[in-house]
A and B are shown apart, each in its own frame.
Chain A
Amino acid sequence: MASDANCITPGNAARQLGPKRTESVRRIIQSRFGAICGIVCCAFPWLVFPAKSAAQTVVTQTVTIQVSPLGNLSSVPASVTLAQPTIPFTSFTKTITISYQARTTPSGGGAITMQVTTDFSAAGSGGPSVANGDLTYTCGAADLGTSCGSSPITASTTTQTNVVQIPSSACTGGGTPCSSTNTNSVTMNLSLADTPALTSGTYTAALTFTISST
Chain B
Amino acid sequence: MVKTFAIAGMMVCLAACGFGQVTTGTTNVTANIKHEATLSVDASDPFLTTGSVFNNYTATTNFIYMIRTTQSTGSGKITVQVTTDFSPTGGPSVATPPSVGDALTYTCTASAPATPCSGTVTAKTTKATSVATFGADAHSSTTGNSGSVVWTLTNDPVYQTGSYTAIVTFTISAT
Which A residues fall within an 8 A CB radius of B? Answer: 59, 61, 63-66, 68-73, 75-82, 84-85, 87-89, 92, 94, 96, 98, 108, 117, 120, 127-128, 135, 190, 192, 194-214
Identify A200's interface contact among B23, B25, B69, B144, CB under 8 A.
B69
Which B residues fall within an 8 A CB radius of A? Answer: 3, 7, 10, 14, 17-38, 66-71, 74, 137, 139-142, 144
**Could you tell me the distance in whole angstroms from the C-beta of A126 to the nearest C-beta in chain B?**
9
| A66–B24 CB distance below 8 A | no
**Could you tell me the distance in whole angstroms from the C-beta of A186 to the nearest C-beta in chain B?**
13
* A200 touching B68 in the complex, CB below 8 Å, given contacts A117-B26, A208-B26: yes
| B31–A81 CB distance below 8 A | yes
| A210–B29 CB distance below 8 A | no
CA–CA, A190 and B31, complex, Å: 11
| A88–B29 CB distance below 8 A | no
| B21–A207 CB distance below 8 A | no
* Chain B residue, CB-CB nearest to A130: B29
Top-7 shortest CB links A-B: A76-B25, A88-B38, A79-B28, A68-B17, A73-B25, A88-B36, A196-B140
| A88–B37 CB distance below 8 A | yes
CA–CA, A160 and B31, complex, Å: 22
| B33–A199 CB distance below 8 A | yes
**Could you tell me the distance in whole angstroms from the C-beta of B28 to the nearest C-beta in chain A?**
4
CA–CA, A197 and B37, complex, Å: 12
**Could you tell me the distance in whole angstroms from the C-beta of A67 to the nearest C-beta in chain B?**
8
| A207–B68 CB distance below 8 A | no
| A202–B68 CB distance below 8 A | no
CA–CA, A64 and B11, complex, Å: 10
Question: In the complex, which of the residues B22, B25, B141 has the most CB atoms of chain A within 10 Å of its own CB atom?
Answer: B25
* Chain B residue, CB-CB nearest to A98: B25
**Could you tell me the distance in whole angstroms from the C-beta of A26 to the nearest C-beta in chain B?**
59
12 extra interface residue pairs, beta carbon distance < 8 Å, beyond A192-B29, A200-B34? A68-B20, A69-B20, A71-B23, A72-B21, A75-B25, A76-B26, A79-B27, A88-B38, A108-B20, A197-B68, A202-B32, A207-B28
| A84–B34 CB distance below 8 A | yes
* A200 touching B29 in the complex, CB below 8 Å, given contacts A211-B22, A214-B20: no
* A201 touching B21 in the complex, CB below 8 Å, given contacts A76-B26, A92-B31, A209-B27: no
CA–CA, A190 and B19, complex, Å: 33
| A204–B28 CB distance below 8 A | yes
**Could you tell me the distance in whole angstroms from the C-beta of B55 to the nearest C-beta in chain A?**
40
16 A-B residue pairs with CB within 8 Å: A63-B10, A69-B21, A72-B21, A73-B24, A79-B27, A85-B36, A88-B66, A128-B31, A194-B33, A196-B36, A198-B68, A198-B139, A199-B71, A199-B137, A204-B28, A206-B29
CA–CA, A65 and B22, complex, Å: 21
| B142–A196 CB distance below 8 A | yes
Chain B residue numbers with a CB within 8 Å of A85 are: 36
| A80–B27 CB distance below 8 A | yes
**Could you tell me the distance in whole angstroms from the C-beta of B124 to the nearest C-beta in chain A?**
27
Identify B30's interface contact among A73, A81, A212, CB under 8 A.
A81
**Could you tell me the distance in whole angstroms from the C-beta of A94 to the nearest C-beta in chain B?**
7
**Could you tell me the distance in whole angstroms from the C-beta of A10 to the nearest C-beta in chain B?**
55
Chain A residue numbers with a CB within 8 Å of B71 are: 199-201
CA–CA, A206 and B28, complex, Å: 4
CA–CA, A96 and B26, complex, Å: 12
**Could you tell me the distance in whole angstroms from the C-beta of B34 to the nearest C-beta in chain A?**
6
* Chain B residue, CB-CB nearest to A74: B25
**Could you tell me the distance in whole angstroms from the C-beta of B143 to the nearest C-beta in chain A?**
9
**Could you tell me the distance in whole angstroms from the C-beta of A123 to the nearest C-beta in chain B?**
15
